[in-house]
Amino acid sequence: MKKCKIVLHILMISAISMFSLVTITQAETVVLAVDADYRPNEIDPPENGLRGFDVEVVEAAFERVGIKAEMKFLPWSRGKSMTKLGKFTGLFTCAYRPEREQYFLFSDKISQATAGFWMRRQFDGLVPESMQDVRGLKTGGILENSTLKSVQDVNPDTLRFRTIKLAVQNLIKGVFDYFYQIKETTGYTIKLMGVSGELKFSPIKEKLYVVCFSKKWPGIEGLMARFNRGLAAVKADGTYDAIHDKYR
């Protein structure tokens, strides 16, 4: 009988230890929904070893505070819906919107999107400082892209292209003079095209990107606070800039 009690006691201790180990492991691992099609913030599959600067920054920030980040690349709408339900710890690349407050907490800034006009480097025409400046001028944009509507609002005759690459090729040829698009996205494309030296950029507005953390994930307030500490550390020691430099 005494031996049975000893064995039972040992089994109970083992079970408690295993439970504690699982709990710790879960607490130190987060699973994030990642937009599967938003280069260069996220790149799936990787290109030339590059996985996206937001992916690398978020991983580095969590690593600094002892947390492993697992990335699940999904279409944006599906990832957002599942994160709302608490199926994922958070999602990115995400932007603050008032209607999202009921579902998410918003981290410190992980990156930004700078919208503006790309021009030929030797072009000596007006350098726009606002959307109104290009009214009546030769502008271009990308089909089914939110930036296209912005420039069409002031210039309905804006030329439309299927891809950034096609738009850049026609811009360099002089078919039009002002290409309204995101600096980070287009900058990555023109780097791959090998024509970065042929273009210049004039910024118009900036949108900040964050990690949207699910309010339904247990202990999310503390987890986000740790992430923000890790993010501040990678920004302070140059890791953040080193990651972004690879994509420019």
pLDDT digit string (tens) for 63-115?
A: 999 999 999 999 999 999 999 999 999 999 999 999 999 999 999 999 999 99
Residue 217 sits in the same domain as residue 144: no
Q: What is the rounded distance in angstroms from the CA atom of residue 179 to the CA atom of residue 160?
A: 10
The pLDDT assigned to 10 comes to 44
- 110-132: per-residue pLDDT in tens? 999 999 999 999 999 999 999 99
83, 212 in Cβ contact below 8 A?
A: yes
- Domain assignment present for residue 186? The answer is yes
- Domain assignment present for residue 234? The answer is yes
Q: What is the rounded distance in angstroms from the CA atom of residue 194 to the CA atom of residue 198?
A: 9
Domain range enclosing 77: 30-111+208-245
Residue type, 86: G
Residue 216 sits in the same domain as residue 182: no
Q: Residue 180 belongs to a domain with what CATH number?
A: 3.40.190.10
- Domain assignment present for residue 147? The answer is yes
pTM of the model: 0.77
Q: What is the rounded distance in angstroms from the CA atom of residue 234 to the CA atom of residue 248?
A: 18
Residue 41 sits in the same domain as residue 151: no
Average of per-residue pLDDT values in the chain: 89
- Domain assignment present for residue 132? The answer is yes
Residue 116 sits in the same domain as residue 188: yes
